[in-house]
Structure 1
Amino acid sequence: MRYSAEPAFVLHARPWRETSLLVEVLTAEHGRLGLVARGVQGPKRHALRAALQPLQAIRFDAVQTGELARLIQAEATDAAPRLAGEAMLAGFYLNELTLRLAPRHDPSPELYAAYARARARLGAGEPLGWTLRRYERDLLDALGVGFDWAHDGDGEPIDPAARYRLDPEHGPRRLLSDRGHDDRRGAATGRALLALAEDRAPAAEDLPGLRRSLRVVLAHHLGPRGLKSWEMLGELKRYAAAPDDAGETR
């Protein structure tokens, strides 16, 4: 199979042998694809190497001969978002999550569009937490494992005053008022789920519960191996909380 002027987003690139790269891209018409970019080292190939950086939008030509396609040429179609600090970590998370959950050779225009929106929001400096929660929702929906966010798993309307645990197989389950503190801490408020359903930013105090609840669902689909970006975020939080030499908290 031949790909000609195929639009894509670069998810990941790593060195392969001495002069080549293995590149993972997301396309609308063919899903996630693996490409072999041969001979990308050297000054004359700088433009190609630059086009194959994560988060870059490209147009490429390639020939599929097996599991991986041989890249013939690629060019950037815009300027990738210039991210730093937490935004750069969010971009890494966006790519890693997509790489792990999007199957190869499975067309998903909905996922491609959702990725494009999330990438644009990162580049525009929109709030990171809400940007990522929206993408997690859209990714689950595009993969066919999302929920009706306005109703619980039994079809009852979400109560904005209640709390819900997200069951990966069943959907939102309402927590009883006498459940323990740990159960409630890992739950989302009903008003946060309704905001997610309406694509409306939740109150700031509702975002942590929504993040923890969605992580349970994502971890279920990822399997026993988590994400490196989760580990990096955990390390960052531990560093931020560590006391300095004066005994104060950073």
Structure 2
Amino acid sequence: MRYVAQPAFVLHARPWRETSLLVEVLSAEHGRLGLVARGVQGPKRQVLRAALQPLQWIRFDAVQTGEMARLIAAEAQDAAPRLGGEAMLAGFYLNELTLRMAPRQDPAPELYEAYAQARSRLGVGEPLGWTLRRYERDLLEALGFGFDWAHDGDGAAIDPAARYRLDPEHGPRRVLSDRGHGDRSSAATGRALLSLATDRQPEANDLPGLRRAMRSVLSYHLGPRGLKSWEMLAELGRVAPRTRPDQSDGGN
């Protein structure tokens, strides 16, 4: 199969052999693809090498002959967001989550659009926690794992004053008492779930619970191996390693 002038976002690139790169991209028409970029380490290939950096939007030509496609050409379509500090870590999380969750060669145009929006929001400095929660919501929806955020798993309307845990298979489940401490520690307020339903930014004190509730769903789909971005945050001392949550203000 041949790909011609395909738009895509670069998720990851790593050296392979002496002069090549293995690149993962999220393409508009074909989903996540693995590319082999040969001979990109020479001094005359700086432009191509720069186009294959994470978060870069490109158009590429390639030929698919096996699991990995051979890259023929790639050209940057804009300047990738210049991120620093927590925003840079959020960008790393965005890419790693997409890389781990999206299957190869499975078209997901809604995911491509959601990624484009999240990348843009990071670039203009919108609130990190809310940007990432919206992307997690949209990623789950695009991959067929989404919920009706306005109703619980039994079809009852979400109560903004109640708290809910997210069952990965059945959706929001109301936490009925304080006896299930574990449930409440990973529960979100009904207000936060309704904010996701209406795409309206939650109150600041609702974001940490929403982050933890979303984390439980993502962990279920990711399996026992978590994300390096979670581990990086734990190592930086921002969070307790045993819980693996993310930024205290609702970050990744």
**Equivalents in 2 of 1:235, 1:194: separation in Å?**
33
1:28-47 matches, cutoff 5 A: 28-47=28-47
* Corresponding position of 1:227: 227
* Corresponding position of 1:92: 92
1:238 deviation in Å? Answer: 4.5
1:46-125 matches, cutoff 5 A: 46-125=46-125
SS in 2 for 1:53: coil
Aligned residue pair count: 240
1:185-224 matches, cutoff 5 A: 185-224=185-224
SS in 2 for 1:103: coil
1:235 deviation in Å? Answer: 1.6
SS in 1 for 2:237: helix
1:42 deviation in Å? Answer: 1.3
Q: Contact 2:178–2:184 at 8 Å: present in 1 too?
A: no
SS in 2 for 1:237: coil
**Deviation by residue 1:100-158 (Cα, 9 ceiling, x = unmatched):** 00000100110000000000000000000000000000000000001000000011000
1:237 deviation in Å? Answer: 3.1
* Corresponding position of 2:184: 184
1:165 deviation in Å? Answer: 0.5
5+ unaligned residues in a row in structure 2: which ranges? Answer: 241-252
**Percent of counterpart pairs with the same letter?**
84
**Deviation by residue 1:41-90 (Cα, 9 ceiling, x = unmatched):** 11100000000000000000000000000000100000000000000000
Matched, 1:8 2:8: yes
* Corresponding position of 2:168: 168
TM-score by length of 1: 0.94
SS in 1 for 2:87: helix
RMSD of equivalent CA atoms = 1.2
Letter in 2 for 1:153: G
1:234 deviation in Å? Answer: 1.4
**Equivalents in 1 of 2:239, 2:155: separation in Å?**
43
**Equivalents in 1 of 2:11, 2:31: separation in Å?**
12
- Asked which structure has the greater CA Rg, the reply is 1
1:180 deviation in Å? Answer: 3.9
**Equivalents in 1 of 2:88, 2:148: separation in Å?**
31
* Corresponding position of 1:247: none
Provide closer, same or farther for how the CA distance between residues 238 and 131 of structure 1 changes in structure 2, counting only shifts above 3 A: closer
TM-score by length of 2: 0.93
1:226 deviation in Å? Answer: 0.4
